Amino acid sequence: MTVYLDYNATAPMHDAVFDIMTTVLRETGNASSVHQFGRRARNHVESSRRDVAALVGARAQNVVFTGGGTEANNLALACSTGSLLIVAATEHVSVLEAAENIEIVPVDARGLIDLEVLETRLALGEGPTIVSVMAANNETGVLQPIAEIAKLVHAHGALLHSDFIQAAGRVELDMNRDGVDFASLSAHKIGGPQGVGALIMRDDAAPTPLIRGGGQERGHRAGTENVAGIAGFGAAARLAGAAIGNMAEVERLRNDLEKRVLEIAPGAVVFDQGAPRLPNTSCLAMPGVKAEIQIMGLDLAGVAVSAGSACSSGKVQPSHVLSAMGVEAATAACAIRISLGLATTAADIDEFLDAWGSFIHRVAKYDAPSGK
């Protein structure tokens, strides 16, 4: 049996997404051409633009398609040149490395940004400022109070960018309601294709283009659009929006998994159970058993999980997220991430627990509660 529990790295592509992409790939036409072939391609792009915008409560005209979430983050923060960029300590590396003039705001033990430190730094008023705080952490699933952060940021005349990539399709999002100036999305986190993303902005906001040399995407991102990928993104966005109510069942499965993990191994650590989290994400550690050992053991048993971000060239590295939360290095080195999706079943959870429990008892020589 093969069990996939790494949705935060990439979600399996929906059949409907594959179907529409296959159809579009068989068609000919550049979305910038004015003849009927070009108009058909343009229709795919604009229809998808509306669907992606709807997923986060935005206007279609404010969606800029990119080559992925990392590019979307970089595009949003490209306008930080000459400005101060303030970010939370647990941001994705594509935000942490987006600029040189950057200041880090600490988080508490639950992974929530320290709003007092943020306000103190904003109050200094040292010129144009952009703040970047992700809606949901990719490793722990912790949800930040984005609306509250936006009010604070705007009160000091700054702009707010939020990485919506993990939150999209898993919790309700509305960037206008919450006061977000720029939001980033990625298709493959919601069952769409890899290599397609979007930056969404408020009506009067405009990023500084990273890629120049064409008028595509209203001049915000030059280059011929990936029509098939964008069509797949739109289909995935429609499906994610329609199914978001089903995430309650995913959360029930996640909670059951964590409860049973602690029954199998009372010495295990489940991070952030007391914080608001994505319904699909669990980050846990088995002290004494390195993450890479657990991942390899589970993989041999046909179960796929990860050790945090998948953006480290396949390497298992210490988690800057857990470190920022004050987790000891030895414990953080033993942390794995389990992320579920709408296709996850109770049988998948049973399979994971059987494989993980057997492996932990064997490798760590851990005594079960019964003492046997």
CATH of the domain at 49: 3.40.640.10
Whether residue 369 is contained in a domain is answered as no
Question: Are 57 and 85 found together in one domain?
Answer: yes
Euclidean distance between CA atoms 53 and 219, whole angstroms: 18
Whether residue 371 is contained in a domain is answered as no
Summarised one tens digit per residue, pLDDT across range 156-169 is: 999 999 999 999 99
Determine which one of 79, 283, 311, 334 is catalytic: 311
Beta bridge partners of 256: none
Question: Are 331 and 283 found together in one domain?
Answer: yes
Confidence of residue 310 (pLDDT cuts 50, 70, 90): low
Question: Are 69 and 208 found together in one domain?
Answer: yes
pLDDT tops 70 at residue 251: yes
CATH of the domain at 328: 3.90.1150.10
Question: Are 278 and 155 found together in one domain?
Answer: no
Confidence of residue 128 (pLDDT cuts 50, 70, 90): confident
Domain termination site, one of 214, 243, 272 = 243
Tally of structural domains, the chain: 2
pTM: 0.93
Question: Are 293 and 358 found together in one domain?
Answer: yes
Domain termination site, one of 243, 278, 307 = 243
3-state secondary structure of 163: strand
pLDDT tops 60 at residue 368: no
User: Which domain does 97 fall in, by range?
Assistant: 15-243
pLDDT value at position 207?
Answer: 80
pLDDT tops 70 at residue 256: yes
Q: Which helix (H) or strand (E) holds 355?
A: helix 346-363
Contact between residue 215 and residue 169 where contact means Cβ atoms under 8 Å apart:
no
Whether residue 368 is contained in a domain is answered as no
Confidence of residue 274 (pLDDT cuts 50, 70, 90): confident
Whether residue 155 is contained in a domain is answered as yes
Summarised one tens digit per residue, pLDDT across range 192-248 is: 999 999 999 998 777 888 888 888 988 889 899 999 999 999 999 999 999 999 999
Number of Cβ atoms within 10 Å of the Cβ of 177: 13
Question: Are 148 and 102 found together in one domain?
Answer: yes
Question: Are 7 and 26 found together in one domain?
Answer: no
Question: Are 110 and 165 found together in one domain?
Answer: yes
Compute, in degrees rounded to 10, the torsion defined by CA atoms 306, 312, 316, 321: -80
Average pLDDT on 75-86 reads 80
Summarised one tens digit per residue, pLDDT across range 107-124 is: 999 999 999 999 999 998
Whether residue 370 is contained in a domain is answered as no
Active site annotation includes 311 = yes
Question: Are 266 and 334 found together in one domain?
Answer: yes
Question: Are 327 and 210 found together in one domain?
Answer: no
pLDDT value at position 159?
Answer: 94
Whether residue 267 is contained in a domain is answered as yes
Residue with tokens 């960018």: 161
Pairing of strands 102-105, 159-163: unpaired
Whether residue 84 is contained in a domain is answered as yes
Residue with tokens 């007092």: 116
Question: Are 227 and 309 found together in one domain?
Answer: no
pLDDT tops 60 at residue 51: yes
Domain termination site, one of 243, 267, 301 = 243
Whether residue 341 is contained in a domain is answered as yes
Question: Are 139 and 32 found together in one domain?
Answer: yes
